[in-house]
Structure 1
Amino acid sequence: MYWFLLFMAGVFESAFAIGLKLCDGFSKPIPSILTAIAIALSMLMMSLAMRGIPVAIAYAVWVGIGVAGSLALSYTFLKEPISAMQLVSVALIITGVIGLKITSSG
């Protein structure tokens, strides 16, 4: 359950990163509200996940999911370019996240 909460926290972290771009400095009401909701949900789920996952592992996994998700979403919906080296780097981050999950006792 803790890992599912952490995964969802990372998904909402990706959503709020994209939302920050779309709300244009919080000048657009609907994207701003959705971004604020994504931030709140991400923090809530992260705090609940930390009940059963050590802080350093939870934070690293949360950031890793956020980085990978933000890159995918920005490429897909914002048409931002991705280089081969960025893909390799994100693959390394994902590998690290998997390694943290496999070696975690939580």
Structure 2
Amino acid sequence: MTTTGAKHTRKGHAWTMLLLAGVFEIGYALSVGGSRAFTVPGWSVSAALFFLLTLYALSVALREIDVGIGYAVWAGIGSVGAAVFGSILLDQPLTPIQAFWLAVIIAGVIWLKLADSTRRQAGSR
């Protein structure tokens, strides 16, 4: 594999880890909500586990992805996922205006990823 190919593989792995960190962040947020201020033992243990998993996956991703971009994507995935799954699993309301602004966050995350890909392509020339 060429050096450029190895870089692309590392970047791809980093983005996969960032997506995984986002999924763990959703689990963490939902678990904290279900823990009722850490008074429900099962949810509290789940929150601690998801917290450790999200930090690990995020730290691995940030070895290859700029901190500002990685953190924004991670936070976006976590906030949108927590709102959507909180609505479904925890019966929390999700209004149309909230759904609109969550869609804006999703669009922003996609634009950040595209901007990172464009910068990477320009840098490999």
| TM-score bin (small chain) | over 0.9
> Which of 104, 110, 114 is 1:102 aligned to?
114
Distance in structure 2 (CA, Å) of the matches to 1:84 and 1:24: 26
Q: What secondary structure is seen at the aligned counterpart in 2 of 1:66?
A: helix
The number of aligned residues is: 106
Normalised by the size of structure 2, how large is the TM-score? 0.82
Normalised by the size of structure 1, how large is the TM-score? 0.96
Distance in structure 2 (CA, Å) of the matches to 1:95 and 1:58: 15
Deviation beyond 4 Å, 4+ runs, structure 1: none
Distance in structure 1 (CA, Å) of the matches to 2:94 and 2:45: 28
Q: Are 2:34 and 1:22 equivalent residues in the alignment? A: yes
| Root mean square deviation, CA, Å | 1.1
Q: Are 2:103 and 1:57 equivalent residues in the alignment? A: no
Q: Are 2:56 and 1:47 equivalent residues in the alignment? A: no
> Which of 76, 87, 91 is 2:99 aligned to?
87
Distance in structure 2 (CA, Å) of the matches to 1:81 and 1:30: 24
Q: CA deviation at 1:30?
A: 1.2
Question: Radius of gyration: which is bigger?
Answer: 2
Q: CA deviation at 1:89?
A: 0.3
Q: Unaligned 5+ residue runs, structure 2?
A: 1-12
Q: Percent identity?
A: 36
Distance in structure 1 (CA, Å) of the matches to 2:86 and 2:40: 19
User: Which amino acid in the other structure matches residue 81 of structure 2?
Assistant: G
Distance in structure 2 (CA, Å) of the matches to 1:39 and 1:95: 26
> Which of 18, 37, 49 is 1:6 aligned to?
18
Distance in structure 1 (CA, Å) of the matches to 2:45 and 2:60: 23
Q: Unaligned 5+ residue runs, structure 1?
A: none
More contact order relative to length (CA 8 Å, sep ≥ 6):
1
User: Which amino acid in the other structure matches residue 85 of structure 2?
Assistant: L
